[in-house]
Structure 1
């Protein structure tokens, strides 16, 4: 656990570990005050990781201080390693200037920062709680790292209703124009009269 064996700046007083790792309960004003510093420290630690990895890949297997080590330091690989280490050390010093604790810096660079390599920002969140602090009735809040106690929300999508295609409706024949209708009626009447005429002549004979 991170806080086992840790002491405060006096080197004697033990650090009181939080109930939940990565989460503290404090006043809302203190949480808002310290959050930007935490975000900046994590950003510095993330910037140092690529430089440290490059330095580890370039480092010689020779013992430090040996003749082989000194000869390697003069090579191009040794010069490149020196540049990468200098960048990583500079970022660690900047983080130490804010935290003022070597062990806290080691935890920040070795344990905390690698968790957020795929995240561009927003490493912490503030959750205001209903309870107030006894004594001064200060509004309390929870300050914690994201990703540890996140609730996984499952989105439920309603199934789309199945619409069955109706049978094709026969198209209505175009209505005849009024003029065409009258002509058709006249032709029908004429043909009927022509048919009845021979029948009447046959009856008279």
Structure 2
């Protein structure tokens, strides 16, 4: 019996399953990297294809990482007020390191560093962590939750016929719904103009008929 042991085992030991989920999260974040000159560039940014059960199991971990990174954004913006833009090793930079601004910058940025270390602990990839904090988290500042979606694929996996699914970030590959354009009645004025002479002609004809009857 598996009392209070939630989650899918995925046919793996606990250590193997933990490593698998870490790799899936890192792979999803790394699709957002600048892969212009990369031989193994991702086909679609912000999307990975895996089995349905793996996608459902890794989704909470992805959401957790994005939430942690998003909560550190206000502290990073506060630290930018005391940051130094000079090159490292320059006289201005050395002067800044001995000033009170460096102390304020270090204190303001402490939560950001703690969040980055927490993400590295969760997924074990520094490059994916940097992409998460620099690119992905900024995208969901005004979104309260639901950063990913799971889309089931119709074609099963070749070999064992496993159900495949797409795990992707919301807002990157969303479908744009377009409403049908309403028909324009710009030519209706011309139809009315053409109808007036016909009505006038009918009136003249009726008047002529009346005169004939009187005669």
Q: Normalising to structure 2: TM-score of the pair?
A: 0.59
Question: Residues 60-103 of structure 1: CA distance to partner in whole angstroms, max 9, x if unpaired?
Answer: 4677787633541xx3x544322211111000000011121111
Question: Residues 16-42 of structure 1: CA distance to partner in whole angstroms, max 9, x if unpaired?
Answer: 543211111110001011111111111
The residue correspondences of 1:182-193 to structure 2 (distance < 5 A) are none
The alignment partner of 1:131 has SS state of coil
Whether 1:68 and 2:95 are equivalent positions in the alignment is yes
Question: Which residue is 2:35 aligned to?
Answer: 4
Whether 1:93 and 2:117 are equivalent positions in the alignment is yes
CA distance in 2, matches of 1:102, 1:5: 20
Whether 1:118 and 2:118 are equivalent positions in the alignment is no
Question: Which residue is 1:39 aligned to?
Answer: 63
Question: Which residue is 1:144 aligned to?
Answer: 168
Question: Which residue is 1:10 aligned to?
Answer: none
CA distance in 1, matches of 2:88, 2:110: 17
The alignment partner of 2:155 has SS state of strand
RMSD over aligned Cα, in angstroms? 3.0
CA distance in 2, matches of 1:85, 1:141: 38
CA distance in 2, matches of 1:70, 1:26: 47
CA distance in 2, matches of 1:79, 1:113: 26
The residue correspondences of 1:48-59 to structure 2 (distance < 5 A) are 48-59=72-83
Question: Which residue is 2:155 aligned to?
Answer: 131
- How far the C-alpha of 1:140 sits from its partner, in A, is 0.7
The structure having more radius of gyration, on CA atoms, is 1
User: Is the CA contact 1:63–1:69 (under 8 Å) kept in the aligned structure 2?
Assistant: no
Whether 1:24 and 2:48 are equivalent positions in the alignment is yes
Q: Normalising to structure 1: TM-score of the pair?
A: 0.62
Task: Report which of the two has the higher share of helix.
Answer: 2
- How far the C-alpha of 1:4 sits from its partner, in A, is 3.0
The alignment partner of 2:96 has SS state of helix
Range with bigger deviation, 120-129 or 14-23: 14-23
CA distance in 2, matches of 1:108, 1:140: 25
Q: 1:63 to 1:107 in 2, by over 3 A?
A: closer
Structure 1's unaligned 5+ residue stretches are 7-13, 159-205
User: Is the CA contact 2:35–2:42 (under 8 Å) kept in the aligned structure 1?
Assistant: no
